[in-house]
Amino acid sequence: MKADLDFRPEMFEVADKTDLNVDKIRRPSIKFWPDVWRRLKMNKLAMLGLTLIIAMIVMAFIGVKLSGYTYFEQNLKLRNTHPNMEFWFGTDELGRDMFTRVWYGARYSLAIGVIAAFIDFVIGITYGGIAGISSRRVDAIMMRVAEVIYSIPYLLIVILLSVVLTQEGGGSSMFVLILAMSLTGWVPMAILVRGQVLQLKESEYSLASESLGATKSWILKKHIFPNTLGPILVNVTLTIPRAIFAEATLGFLGLGLQAPMSSLGTLANDGLAGLAVGNAYQIIIPAIFISLIMFSFNVLGDGLRDALDPRLRK
């Protein structure tokens, strides 16, 4: 035993001074969300989408005032005027300035998409969180109810609500459109949150909190929801363009906002008649803006998904 503790000088080697930098911190510690933003900025396509979204939101508020015309002002002498220096996007069949109406419609389309996505977010995380943290019996019942609701086509709901809630019966209000899309749109979010909760509630920190007497609501708030925030945010960024496209589809079918209000979908529907008389710009311009909004949110969602993925961290 003593031989094992017999240390001799030749058994040791003098450390080189350069070894003092072995434990040196090469770069400062980066927290999660700053690191997500750093990786998102590296994705040029995602940043292009974010730039377009910000630009459209700004123009939706100030663009309606740039031309000097209101969205409802009519001048039949100037109807179907092609784009020129005075009317940058031309005029429609009633002589209304298309530039003002496009940005006015973009404001409504973006508002409908964002509000519908927010409602889906609130209902989805609440319903999915309760289903995932509850017993198997309660979970099964709640998921069957959600599947029944999701099986109802939202177009049918919009038509029924338009008939019941709209006095004229020939169009929908903003409230009707948001209500119709929200009645079924929250189910995918709930299913996503439920799956994340089922996975995370069996984790070590959740079980440790439960063993220490933490309630299920506390575990959801402190442990599970913060760890599911990444997939939820990605889903929200992809829900907004789906809601905007759904509104544009309903507007194109004549179930959109009532006149004189307009969205991009109703503008495309109004411009459809212009194709036969050589006024294709009346439908092309709204269609371009719908495509730009869809493109921007989709590439931003893809970039955010990659930035939140820890496996792609460098």
Tokens of 133: 């943290």
Residue 265 and residue 251 in contact, taking contact as beta carbons nearer than 8 Å = yes
Q: Is residue 26 assigned to a domain? A: no
Tell me which of 65-74, 116-125, 193-202, 257-266 is least confident.
257-266
Q: What is the average pLDDT value for the chain, to the nearest integer?
A: 82
Q: Where in the sequence is the domain holding 217, given as residue range(s)?
A: 32-67+89-312
Q: Per the structure, how many domains does the chain have?
A: 1
Instruction: Tell me the CATH number at 130.
Output: 1.10.3720.10
pLDDT for the residue 22: 56
Q: Which of 96-105, 150-159, 262-271 has the highest mean pLDDT?
A: 96-105
Q: Which helix (H) or strand (E) holds 253?
A: none
Q: Which residue has the higher pLDDT, 285 or 219?
A: 285
Cross-strand pairs, 172: 257
Q: What is the mean pLDDT of residues 80-92?
A: 90
Q: Is residue 15 assigned to a domain? A: no
Q: Is residue 25 assigned to a domain? A: no
φ, ψ of residue 22 in degrees (nearest 5): -65, -45
Task: Give 292's pLDDT tier (boundaries 50, 70, 90).
Answer: very high
Q: Is residue 16 assigned to a domain? A: no
Work out the angle at residue 118's Cα, subtended by the Cα atoms of residues 113 and 121, and round it to the nearest 5 degrees.
125
Q: What is the mean pLDDT of residues 67-82?
A: 86
Q: What is d(CA 141, CA 60) in angstroms, rounded to the nearest whole number? A: 43
Q: Is residue 49 assigned to a domain? A: yes
Residue 47 and residue 311 in contact, taking contact as beta carbons nearer than 8 Å = no
pLDDT in tens, 100-154: 999 999 998 899 889 988 999 999 988 998 898 888 899 999 999 999 988 888 7
User: Around Cβ 184, how many Cβ atoms within 10 Å?
Assistant: 18
Residue 60's contacts (CB-CB under 8 Å, 6 or more residues apart) are 103, 104, 106, 107, 110
Q: What is the mean pLDDT of residues 200-226?
A: 79
Q: Is residue 24 assigned to a domain? A: no
Q: What is d(CA 134, CA 114) in angstroms, rounded to the nearest whole number? A: 30
Q: Is residue 78 assigned to a domain? A: no
pLDDT for the residue 265: 85
pLDDT for the residue 169: 46
**pTM of the model as a whole:** 0.79
Q: Is residue 1 assigned to a domain? A: no
pLDDT in tens, 4-48: 567 777 777 776 666 555 556 556 667 777 888 888 899 999 999
